[in-house]
Structure 1
Amino acid sequence: MVPSTKRQICSDANTNNKRLKKQDQMKEDQDQLAKNDMTVDTLLPHLPDLIVHKIFRLIPTKLAVRSTIVSKQWASVWSLGVPRLDFDDEGDPSDHEDHNLGRRRLLFIDFVESCLRRCEKNQHLELDSFRLGMRYDCELIGAIRIDKWLSFAVERCVKELDMSIKRKDDNDLDESTYYCIPQTILNAKFLTSLNLEHVRIKETTDPISLPYLKTMSLKAVMVDVMVDGTTALDKLISMGCPSIELLSLASCSFSSSWWWWIDVTSASLKSLQIMDCNCNTLKVEAENLESLTFASEFSKHSSIRLLSECVKLKYINIYSKHLMCIEMHGRCRENVKANIDTPNLRVFGYNGFVMPNDVISLKARNPYCANILLNWDDEEVVEPTFLPPWTHFPTMRDFLQNFDCCNKVELDIRHDAIAEALTFPENFRKTLSPPLPNVKNLFVCIVRFRCPQTVARVSDLRDSLLWMAPSAHTFTITFWDYDDPEPSEEDE
């Protein structure tokens, strides 16, 4: 055999050996990958797809994505779309000197947008909830990009929206440092719950429509004030949220520094909570309101007005060190439990009647005046369970006792039934102590009664009033007649 032929045979043999070794190596690699896949899939238990889907609804999106890496089944379920997206950068909001902040920001943006691109593949996906929590300023992420993310959620008929965008300095009230809520959110037709933190609600002339919104919570939100003193929040509540039942405001601020008030007007609102918001005046007109909580340490608060439309109030809690004036209408058809702790209160106004088992507790250091207008509207009271006020003398006494800390009490009696309620029986007066022993000035205005029996007992009413405030230096009774333009007075 010639040498060249031998070399050719050897070369072919080497080539075959290399090919066989390569095939063996590929087979070993495939076997190893298969083993790895089996090992990976055993890291998470095999569960019914429906259970996996429910788990995805309960955990943050970042954790859900990580789980898809170690389980083919979970990855398959995720690819079908999950109705809950929860994006949180998980950073320390106080750490703004992080050298990796720029890199972390880019990773967060990339993660959010990759998840949204994956969800876009499912055209029929509807979102139950969308949460966006960031420690990055709006300028670092970009308002246009955030608008795009929120538009994606609204396009997927999101029902619950929760977003918080931290700022470098929470004490900086510069409006330009806030992210402005876009008009898209204010017209999210399917939204039922809205939670906003560290953002701005801007003044707008565009229509607002949140027809199914039930609950709204605003924390550290900047609210624009209109030229007429009303706020963007007023328009949002009264015109844009016809179904709202719970409204919570905490640490909210307003763009005006001279005069502003919160005007809550709603036919559907049931619960109102206002905590540490630096408004000037609170006015509430809500016929279905059942619970009101107000607490604030701000010195600029001046007054709270609960209008007569609030007829279903059951629970009132007011705590404010600097509140000066409260106007309250007592026309509630349910028993009211009210706790009012206002050490610097100057004027308390009450207009209405007192029901059995009403508990109204007022704590004020030295209020100047209590204006109490007691009325009883026979036309309003149609329920057969209503009892006239003269059937519960202890309730009336306990109610009046709250105003013993006042320097002056002005008592306005507008109905025969109220006169009966204030004509405490002699045995009652002998048994219990008077409700206003420390009041120095008592002014009583009595509209001329329509019932002859009540007119006959005016002297008994006068004796009862003298018992109510035994230490009064000034005791004046003014009688008004419906037909007489000028009142008549009696001084004691």
Structure 2
Amino acid sequence: MDVGFLALLYFKGVTDIPPDEFVLNASSLTVLKLGSLKLEAPYASTFPSLKVLSLRHMKLDSKSLQNLISGCPIIEDLDLRIDLVFDVSKTLKNPSLLNVNFPKQWLESLISNLPLLDRFAFVCSNSEFHNVSIWSHSLKSLLISVRTFTEISVSIRTPNLTSLEFICFQKPVISIEAPNLFEANVQLFENYSSKNLYNDFVHFFKNLDCLKKMKLFISPKQDYIFSESIRKTLSPPLPNLNRLDAFISNRGASFSELRLFLLWCAPSAESLKDGHFLGNYVSRDNGCGYVDE
């Protein structure tokens, strides 16, 4: 029997019942999704047609993981929630590593050694993300979410990157060379005190000054609405931005203060559109139209 898509998901904890041997040697499978299962693969699997593999909340050792992945010579999409390193085919295009903890060197090597890498998502919640270097000539979409309160520093060299999503809980130090970057979704849940808060803010966004479109969320724990006197001493951080959707705690700031602050941040964008301000939410665009989120 030829099966192209198979999903085995167990929703009441991890079951100790391993998948049938058929699952590990199904030559017709193109999509395989396994969740909350104990997987034992003492020998290499055989998935000559598999392009999509998802493993979430699995109970398996590094040997079983490698035996499973090594049997996927044409894999393109990989979705993992497992803290185990692995080797993978260079055909991989779209890896998603969620809620994981990997050595920095391994992560850097994985990204730089995938010649067809198109989209990469990385979410870590219990590991450091310090002095990480991301280099890829082919990468077009990047998501980084670091849910720790340790120091964050990353260098991104991606000449073909067009979309970036960056989420962090601590002050980020980011260096980016992405001349084709068009849009970004930035969420800063910062919880730190800094004498250079304004300079930190401006420096971070000046790394993204080539952007045309941005969604920005800033935690209410910090007040980023710079006063006019401070704005006069700094250059606008986003001079080329055409559209800005922002959610910012106003900390008592009026609508007009928010508007002036955003006009300063992105002077190339047009004036605020009437009717697109709700609570602390402000939308500005270049006339292409606004779609409610």
Shorter-chain TM range is: 0.5 to 0.7
Match of 1:350 among 156, 166, 169: 166
Larger radius of gyration: 1
CA contact (8 A) 2:119 2:139 kept: yes
Using a 3 Å threshold, how does the CA distance of structure 1 residues 462 and 281 change in structure 2: closer, same or farther? same
The equivalences for 1:112-261 within 5 A come to 203=24, 207=40, 224=47, 229-230=52-53, 239-241=60-62, 255=72, 257=74, 259-261=76-78
Using a 3 Å threshold, how does the CA distance of structure 1 residues 255 and 309 change in structure 2: closer, same or farther? same
Structure 1: runs of 5 or more not aligned: 1-201, 210-220, 377-385
Match of 2:157 among 337, 341, 350: 341
CA contact (8 A) 1:370 1:406 kept: yes
Using a 3 Å threshold, how does the CA distance of structure 1 residues 470 and 353 change in structure 2: closer, same or farther? farther
Aligned equivalent of 1:359: 173
Q: Equivalents in 1 of 2:198, 2:208: separation in Å?
A: 16
Using a 3 Å threshold, how does the CA distance of structure 1 residues 402 and 225 change in structure 2: closer, same or farther? farther
1:282 aligns with 2:98: no
CA contact (8 A) 2:137 2:160 kept: yes
Cα offset, 1:440, TM superposition: 2.3
Superposed CA RMSD in Å reads 4.2
Using a 3 Å threshold, how does the CA distance of structure 1 residues 276 and 348 change in structure 2: closer, same or farther? farther
Structure 2: runs of 5 or more not aligned: 1-22, 26-37, 287-293
Q: Equivalents in 2 of 1:411, 1:472: separation in Å?
A: 15
- Counterpart of 1:342, as a letter, is T
Q: Normalized per residue, which structure has more helix? A: 1
Report sequence identity in percent: 23
Where 2:148 maps in the other structure, the secondary structure is coil
1:407 aligns with 2:212: yes
CA contact (8 A) 2:150 2:170 kept: no
Cα offset, 1:333, TM superposition: 1.4
Aligned equivalent of 2:115: 298
Q: Equivalents in 1 of 2:86, 2:177: separation in Å?
A: 20
Q: Normalized per residue, which structure has more strand? A: 2
Cα offset, 1:319, TM superposition: 1.0
Q: How many aligned positions are there? A: 242
CA contact (8 A) 2:77 2:92 kept: yes
Where 1:410 maps in the other structure, the secondary structure is strand
Using a 3 Å threshold, how does the CA distance of structure 1 residues 227 and 290 change in structure 2: closer, same or farther? closer
Aligned equivalent of 1:100: none
Aligned equivalent of 1:435: 237
Cα offset, 1:441, TM superposition: 2.2
Using a 3 Å threshold, how does the CA distance of structure 1 residues 336 and 491 change in structure 2: closer, same or farther? closer
Aligned equivalent of 1:460: 257
Cα offset, 1:458, TM superposition: 4.7
Q: Equivalents in 2 of 1:431, 1:388: separation in Å?
A: 21
Q: Equivalents in 2 of 1:411, 1:442: separation in Å?
A: 7
Cα offset, 1:429, TM superposition: 2.1
CA contact (8 A) 2:72 2:89 kept: no
Where 1:470 maps in the other structure, the secondary structure is coil
Where 2:221 maps in the other structure, the secondary structure is helix
**Greater relative CO (CA pairs within 8 A, separation 6+):** 2
Where 2:132 maps in the other structure, the secondary structure is strand
Q: Equivalents in 2 of 1:488, 1:425: separation in Å?
A: 18
Using a 3 Å threshold, how does the CA distance of structure 1 residues 311 and 392 change in structure 2: closer, same or farther? farther
